[in-house]
Structure 1
């Protein structure tokens, strides 16, 4: 799809305005209610759908299908990323009223990082068509790693600080408690970081790893930088509200990693087939309508099986608790 510089600038300006509105609404630290989170989650989803309709009017069914396939994939990967955000919040004992500020900064960092990755990806793809082989192989490897992580139940583990974060903490020092939303304070005559800044750096550094998975995945669905950027932007925009909306539900999505591994593996195979096709090898290519339907089907099945498995686990735990209580009375 041929997008002019004017359309690019208008799109970026509109997204910046939406970010400003989101920041203005959540600027005052407070506990986010389910109603507030649900309302804004719906708003962001509706805005994404309206953008998709506008894309249909501007570019037709092809770009629209690519956008929604990319948007759903990126949104699903973002939900999986929320597991890590939960671990980070728990690790640093972030007060509930400050969590939305941390997430807001995390989303902004993710937008900037992904914009850079998208630009780099577009430049590499235009210069080296064989990079699709690397992207495909990387996604297939990531899919296998997700399965291994899910089998080890790594989401249950405690968040471990990376070396860069530890180095920064050692260099600047960290205050012993939170000081509202302040990032730096004077302590014993020395300027030190607050735990708030440490948490923001932790989430920002993990965003780099998240982008390494998501950018190759969406380039497997579309090679249009405009669609890649907007799909990522809309997927990330509602992430903060989604964190509070489904925070309790995350633990019940026990099969999500398996579903995402299937999707990433599928896109990896699609990329390899596309690379072979570009090299002149006569192989079938996977269409966008099929990709979109496959992604939706996998996510639907994953959600249903996750909720059933979680319900069964809860019933089993309740039964064991009743048995233990009866044994105690006996």
Structure 2
């Protein structure tokens, strides 16, 4: 059996109208290989340095860029642009996750030498759960286009909530119902047992805090996906683009965690930028819902003639908003540091 060539017009058509099974299989195999190599490279407990983290971020961003280039060639500008917009959005929203990841690591007192493995396994768990969420969302959207009204309203409400949050809203991490259930069903050791996830002691199987923190990170990321998945569906309805954008964003998230570290506190305006992005995508979703309206109580069940926001404009707005808020955050933080230095001199 011959493998389809990238130059084959049938391949380009398949990538344009819908990804065949072999494309999904190759993509999943490639992602699995990346995770396997990463897991093998981090098999020995050690603390990740800033240089290693920076190199890792560059590698994963480079892989995402190569994948985007492949989509531009095989699927055309629309697919490539949709992936870039989705990737930038997911990666930016994931930065907000890092604040909570820091809280989880502190709450479970994870040794720095083990944080690399904890994040990797936690992200694998998150990606598997996100995959199911994406498939379910795609099926709902395909059958009920009016769900975009709900997604749009949800994103706008979330945007307002994000902008109104203060730094005191996430002072500590509290275990959710799933983690409490695990503790009731299976005994958990009080301390770590190296990198072991489970141990046999006193004649019975125990799980360690290492496994608990991995579950916590995976579940926490799924909660964040309740915002990010509707957001990327607002940019593209293609499940393949939605999944791969999420996958590449999660791949680079772990290295970004070690690279940013304490620098996260300097992004003082990030939440406002993310809020604007969510509100913009929410408005885009509502416009698309109106354009394909079928609800009988809206315009008599007929589509509404409203302007639509293209993916190119969406990408420009997302990058522009994030760039402005990042620069403004760094300028503001530097000004505060200079003011404090002057106060100490006085």
Q: Provide the secondary structure at the position in 1 that maps to 2:155.
A: helix
In structure 2, runs of 5+ residues without a counterpart are: 1-15, 294-302
Quote how far apart the aligned CAs of 1:163 are. Answer: 2.5
2: CA distance, partners of 1:152 / 1:247: 16
Aligned partner of 2:45 in structure 1 is 29
Alpha-carbon distance between aligned partners in 2 of 1:268 and 1:65, rounded to the nearest angstrom? 19
> Which digits, 9 at most, give the CA deviation of each residue in 1:166-199, with x for residues without a partner?
2322332322211111112234444322111121
Compared CA separation, residues 189 and 317, structure 1 to 2 (3 A): farther
Structure 1 residue 134: deviation in Å?
A: 0.8
Q: Match for 2:29 among 6, 10, 13?
A: 13
Q: Which of residues 95, 103, 112 in structure 2 aligns to 1:87? A: 103
SS at match of 1:181: coil
* Length-normalised TM-score, structure 1: 0.93
**In the alignment, which of 237, 242, 248 is matched to residue 262 of structure 2?**
248
Give unpaired runs (5+ residues) of structure 1: 324-330
Structure 1 distance, partners of 2:158, 2:203, is 47
Q: Aligned pair 1:115/2:131, yes or no?
A: yes
Cα 1:145/1:313, change in 2 over 3 Å: same
Match of 1:304 in 2: 327
Matching residue of 1:294: 317
Q: Deviations over 1:199-224 (max 9, x none)?
A: 11211221220111111000000001
SS at structure 2 position matched to 1:31? coil
Pick 1 or 2: higher relative contact order, CA cutoff 8 A, min separation 6: 1
Counting matched residue pairs gives: 321
- 8 Å CA contact 1:88–1:199 kept in 2: the answer is yes
The equivalent residue for 2:12 is none
Q: Relative to structure 1, is the Cα distance of residues 189 and 319 closer, same or farther in structure 2, using a 3 angstrom cutoff?
A: farther
Q: Which residue of 2 aligns with 1:283?
A: 306
- Matched with 1:175 is 189
CA–CA distance in structure 1, aligned partners of residues 283 and 336 of structure 2? 34
Quote the offset at 1:95 in angstroms: 0.4
Alignment of 1:40-59 (within 5 A): 40-59=56-75
Is 119-128 or 311-320 further displaced after alignment? 311-320
SS at match of 1:238: helix
2:123/2:217 contact within 8 Å kept: no
Aligned partners of 1:152, 1:37: CA distance in 2, in Å? 26
SS in 1 for 2:196: coil
Q: How far apart in 1 are the matches of 2:312 and 2:20?
A: 26
SS of residue paired to 1:213: helix
* CA shift for structure 1 position 4: 1.6
1:77 aligns with 2:107: no
Which residue number corresponds to residue 327 of structure 1?
Answer: none
CA–CA separation in structure 2 for the residues paired with 1:20 and 1:165: 27
Q: Is the 8 A contact 2:126 2:219 kept in 1?
A: no
- State the match for 2:122 in structure 1: 106
- Report the CA distance shift for 1:189/1:313 in structure 2 as closer, same or farther (over 3 A): farther
SS class of match (1:222): coil
Residue 236 of structure 2: aligned partner: 222
SS at match of 2:200: strand
Shift of the alpha carbon at 1:13? 1.1
